Amino acid sequence: MINKKIFLSLAGLAAVLLSLQPGVAKELVIEKGVIDKDTTWSGEILVQGDVEVAKGATLLIMPGTTVRFAKIEAFGPEKMYTDKDNHFSRAEIFVLGKLYAQGTKEKKIVFTSAEEKPAPGDWGAINFNGTVDNLLEYCEFMYAQTAVHCHSSQVAVLYNTFKYNGTAMGSKNLPDVPVRCAMPVLYNLVTENGGGIIIGGGTASPVAHNEISGNEFFGVYVKKGGRAAVRFNNINKNGKGVIFYATKETLLRDNNIADNQNYNISMLEGQADDIVARNNWWGMTDEKKIREKVMDKAREETLGKVDLTDFYTSPVSGAGIL
């Protein structure tokens, strides 16, 4: 007869070995709260409320991790923040410290909805506020309101995929926060979202070598003093290609901007300054037809003028993700 203590030890050992088998790792459930010390996430993570990464703390997310967000009540008890100007109605990760989410090409980090039938806006954002030295690389973002939101912060957004979000990413500076927003957006696939990339509020961001296509409303939106260097992107088949509102310091050249549904370039009411958009490929070589896909002073007297001179007569080689 097997000794009872030995049996229990063997049973416990079996349980441990089972937990180490691929595909049976236990999901880690994260409730609303503050991460106040260096923390590592790996495996399967379920977020069930707002999570703050406090100043002085770093959240490290390992390659191959999947972070799923429960669809909490909009501005309900699981929300830590209810300021609608700077926060989102659903669960979000709010970064005051640092976030390193660095996957690999083979083991990407996934941020997505926990819903059985997911939809855009099921979760809020990865929301950076007044923080520097953050990294999002080889991640997939799906079903957020605005997947990455940069408030007066510095975060590198590299080699990621943004799909099925309300908006892929946005940036702006906040008053009384000393850090100025910088969000380099390089080598990303931004597709099938409501909106693509928003550069706003005095922020400065290079947007280069991205595939920006099939977004319902716009590919790139530069607004309210946003400053962007938009180069070597493919910006195709969006509702509108590139939108400008109340801004003037934008470099837009060496892109393939074509086949966008409404306009390849659109100035909104309040865009009184001219925009230089030389040296791009517009999908055609007939200047009159190129102009037909532009909303500027030629159509509305109050708007500035888009300078399209020196346009390329063939697609830009090397644009998009290399």
- pLDDT tens-digit map of 142-196: 999 999 999 999 999 999 999 999 999 999 988 888 898 999 999 999 999 999 9
C-beta separation of 265 from 293 below 8 A: yes
Q: Mean pLDDT of all residues in the chain?
A: 91
Show the tokens assigned to 277: 């958009």
DSSP code of 74?
T
pLDDT over 70 (residue 251)? yes
Q: What is the pLDDT of residue 319?
A: 97
**Alpha-carbon distance 204 to 20, whole Å?**
46
pLDDT over 90 (residue 266)? yes
Report pTM: 0.90
Quick one: which of 47, 99, 43 has its CA closest to 68?
47
pLDDT over 60 (residue 250)? yes
Quick one: which of 103, 112, 108, 107 has its CA closest to 142?
112
Quick one: which of 233, 241, 261, 215 has its CA closest to 306?
241
**Alpha-carbon distance 143 to 64, whole Å?**
19
Dump pLDDT digits (tens) for 268-319.
Answer: 999 999 999 999 999 999 999 999 999 999 999 999 999 999 999 999 999 9
C-beta separation of 152 from 203 below 8 A: no
Q: pLDDT category, 204, cuts 50, 70, 90? A: confident
Q: What is the pLDDT of residue 22?
A: 53
pLDDT over 80 (residue 25)? no
**Alpha-carbon distance 54 to 76, whole Å?**
22
Tell me the H-state helices in the chain: 4-19, 287-292
Dump pLDDT digits (tens) for 73-100.
Answer: 999 999 998 888 778 999 999 999 999 9
- Which residues, in sequence order, are bridge partners of residue 223? 245
Query: What is the average per-residue pLDDT within 126-134?
Result: 96
